[in-house]
Structure 1
Amino acid sequence: MSEDRHGDSMSATLPIRMLHDRILVQVDEDSGERTSKAGIVIPATAQVGKRLGWAEVVAAGPHVRQAVIGDRVLFDPADRAEVELQGNTYILLRERDVHAIAETESEAAAGLYL
């Protein structure tokens, strides 16, 4: 099966096909409970202002321009629509709801000349 830049081969592992500009992401495990620098455990439900979360793109629709499968994206957890597929919980986003895409180490170092 061929795979394009949006990973249509994901349909082999997930029972859905993404449409339009939709992105299916799986939330990073570290986006939940966290520990402060002082060692205090802060639960995921604590409201400390607006905190964005990280997730990995697992599927993307044909009109997604920037994100590709495997990218880590920054999004607002308050705007999430959850879906459960094959026992795993995913979040459905529109591409415009993604605030940033993390650069890989090689991308961050490219072009940096000191």
Structure 2
Amino acid sequence: MTTHAKIDSGLPIRLLHDRVLVQLDGAEGERRSSAGIVIPATASVGRRLSWATVVGVGPHARAVVNGDRVLFDPEDKAEVELQARQYVLLRERDVHAVAASRVEPDATGLYL
């Protein structure tokens, strides 16, 4: 695991503690059903979790690494703009799931 994130501009960022810097997958708001019907953001019912890609992790993060896809609650996020790009800063305990090829299919995961 690396404690430095290298943002596209080359600006080095050092995350502290168990912080995780992620970039959202796709655009928030409207989404499409499997049949291609556009569902506006205002039609969402209940809480909907979001997927993002990890671009940096702090030294105490244990279950995620750069490049992992993670599932988190978008209501519990801190947004940050670095070099005109939007990122989300999370604590590792706010990550609900990790999708990565290194995750074993029968593993129960880590309790954080």
**Common fold by TM > 0.5:** yes
Aligned partners of 1:33, 1:87: CA distance in 2, in Å?
22
Does structure 1 residue 50 correspond to structure 2 residue 41? no
Q: Which runs of 5+ in 2 are unaligned?
A: 106-112
- Partner of 1:25 in structure 2? 22
Question: Whose helix fraction is larger, Structure 1's or Structure 2's?
Answer: 1
Does structure 1 residue 16 correspond to structure 2 residue 13? yes
Aligned partners of 1:15, 1:43: CA distance in 2, in Å?
37
- Partner of 2:62 in structure 1? 65
Aligned partners of 2:78, 2:20: CA distance in 1, in Å?
11
TM-score between the two structures when normalised by the length of structure 1: 0.77
C-alpha RMSD over aligned residues: 2.6
Shift of 1:95: 0.1
Structure with larger Rg: 1
The 8 Å contact of residues 23 and 92 in structure 1, kept in 2 or not, is answered as yes
Q: Which runs of 5+ in 1 are unaligned?
A: 109-114
Aligned partners of 2:61, 2:103: CA distance in 1, in Å?
23
Q: For residues 9 and 75 of structure 1, do their structure 2 counterparts lie closer, same or farther at Cα, with a shift above 3 Å needed?
A: closer
Question: After the TM superposition, which parts of structure 1 deviate over 3 Å for at least 4 consecutive aligned residues?
Answer: 105-108
- Partner of 1:93 in structure 2? 90
Q: For residues 89 and 63 of structure 1, do their structure 2 counterparts lie closer, same or farther at Cα, with a shift above 3 Å needed?
A: same
The 8 Å contact of residues 21 and 64 in structure 1, kept in 2 or not, is answered as yes
Q: For residues 58 and 9 of structure 1, do their structure 2 counterparts lie closer, same or farther at Cα, with a shift above 3 Å needed?
A: closer
Shift of 1:42: 1.4
Shift of 1:34: 1.3
Question: Whose strand fraction is larger, Structure 1's or Structure 2's?
Answer: 2
